[in-house]
């Protein structure tokens, strides 16, 4: 299992940068005042940012809550690609357009910063994984129809690559199913309608893949033992996905997760303990019998003494070939982007925020043949 990681840093350096977290900041109704002076080398960044966490939190606040949308032109590169499960955008003009559209639908939108997990430096570039709780009222027209007046809340994670004060690439995942349900809409019927419309427009589905799902090494089988130490935060996601999801060794869930672990999954669903988590994984693998997880990037902060916070960006692929939560099998191929934030202590996961766009998967499942 390979991952596109930043070059490894000595443990002492990781421990030092563990203090640069959102835990130190006032993320309530008012933004914390700018702290005088730099706490981290930020060559090429505007002077009012003190470190990479402050940059992510503060520029998000400026653009979305202060509605200084035009700052996107100074905080994104002109050719920035933005990746979602069901769309690919290119360039900051599209970022501006999508931001304006969202704010028009939810003009009182608030983004509460829950965590920023990061790696890198101002020489090689930073990777940041920013988890937010997204909250507001649907007071304007959205892509789903006229305003409902309803209050909505969903979880979202944005993974950014930042160089010299500009975002040069971004991956965004959000719990769209939770939002649609809170708007009072039926996600299955809406997915069928939009999937049919997108097919008629000739839009390509992310599940239109060629070749086998990359889980099996040739004619062999997934390894039931993988090299690596699960106490190493850099290795943990690859071991977890390789053994549990790809090799189907679900007995390892009890080794990687604490007995009372809490896992948040799409639809604002809360799983607690090994039983809930095992049932969730089994349900997805039953619906997608050839399903496979691959790790795309890993970053972490913390130390063995303090505990680790780990961000893993991943891709799930499979064929809808079995019964499960998404209706009778359709034979459609699916591909979804996801990001998980793990809180690890004593070598076990105590809490996980697994964020991916389940609605994008539904559209792929119900896409007309």
- pLDDT tens, residue by residue, 56-91: 999 999 999 999 999 999 999 999 999 998 889 999
- The architecture (CATH level 2) of 236-365 comes to Roll (3.10)
Beta strand 88-90 with 151-163: parallel, antiparallel or unpaired?
Answer: unpaired
List Cα–Cα distances, 364 to 98, 188, 206, 228, 314, in angstroms. Answer: 22, 11, 7, 35, 18
Rounded to 5 degrees, φ, ψ at 58 are -75, -40
Annotate 189-208 with b (16+ C-beta within 10 A) or e (fewer). Answer: ebbbebbeebbeeeeebbbe
Rounded to 5 degrees, φ, ψ at 349 are -75, 120
Which residues are within 8 A (CB) of 147 and not within 5 positions of it... i.e. 6 or more apart? 105, 138, 139, 140, 141
Domain over 11-200 is classified CATH 3.10.450.50: yes
Query: Per-domain residue ranges for the chain?
Result: 11-200, 236-365
And the tokens for 27? 């993320």
For residue 246, what pLDDT is reported? Answer: 93
Q: Do 308 and 344 touch, CB atoms closer than 8 A?
A: yes
For residue 369, what pLDDT is reported? Answer: 75
Least confident of 29-38, 121-130, 173-182, 200-209: 29-38
Report CA Rg, the chain: 20
Confidence of residue 220 (pLDDT cuts 50, 70, 90): low
Least confident of 33-37, 130-134, 319-323, 356-360: 33-37
d(CA 364, CA 85): 10
d(CA 355, CA 339): 6
List Cα–Cα distances, 269 to 33, 111, 155, in angstroms. Answer: 35, 20, 11
Of the CA atoms within 13 Å of residue 304, those in its CB half-sphere come to: 6
* pTM attached to this predicted model: 0.89
Residue 195: which H helix or E strand, with range?
Answer: helix 187-200
For residue 13, what pLDDT is reported? Answer: 46
């Amino acid at each position: 299992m390979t991952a596109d990681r930043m070059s490894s840093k000595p443990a002492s350096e990781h421990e030092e940068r563990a203090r640069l977290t959102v835990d130190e900041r006032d993320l309530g109704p008012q933004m914390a005042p700018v702290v005088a002076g730099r706490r981290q080398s930020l060559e090429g960044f505007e002077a009012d940012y003190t470190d990479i966490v402050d940059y992510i939190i503060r520029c998000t606040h400026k653009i979305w809550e202060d509605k200084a949308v035009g700052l996107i032109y100074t905080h994104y590169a002109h050719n920035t690609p933005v990746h979602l499960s069901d769309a690919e955008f290119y360039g900051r003009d599209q970022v501006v357009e999508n931001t304006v559209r969202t704010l028009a639908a939810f003009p009182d939108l608030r983004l509460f910063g829950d965590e920023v997990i990061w790696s890198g430096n101002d020489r090689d570039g930073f990777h940041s994984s920013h988890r937010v709780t997204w909250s507001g009222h649907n007071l304007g027209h959205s892509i789903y129809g006229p305003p409902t007046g309803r209050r909505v809340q969903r979880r979202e994670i944005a993974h950014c690559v930042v160089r010299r004060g500009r975002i040069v690439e971004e991956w965004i995942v959000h719990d769209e199913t939770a939002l649609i349900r809170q708007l009072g809409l039926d996600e299955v019927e809406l997915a069928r309608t939009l999937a049919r419309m997108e097919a008629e427009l000739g839009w390509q589905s992310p599940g239109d893949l060629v070749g086998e799902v990359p889980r099996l090494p040739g004619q062999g089988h997934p390894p039931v033992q993988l090299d690596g130490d699960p106490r190493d935060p850099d290795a943990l996601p690859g071991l977890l996905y390789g053994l549990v999801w790809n090799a189907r060794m679900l007995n390892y869930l009890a080794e990687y997760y604490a007995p009372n672990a809490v896992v948040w999954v799409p639809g604002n669903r809360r799983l607690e303990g090994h039983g809930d988590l095992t049932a969730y994984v089994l349900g997805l693998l039953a619906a997608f019998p050839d399903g496979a997880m691959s790790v795309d990037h890993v970053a972490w902060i913390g130390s063995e003494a303090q505990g680790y916070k780990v961000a893993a960006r991943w891709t799930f692929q499979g064929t809808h070939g079995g019964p499960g939560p998404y209706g009778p099998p359709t034979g459609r191929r699916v591909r979804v982007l996801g990001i998980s934030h793990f809180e690890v202590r004593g070598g076990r996961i105590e809490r996980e925020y697994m964020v991916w766009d389940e609605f994008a998967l539904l559209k792929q499942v119900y896409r007309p043949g």
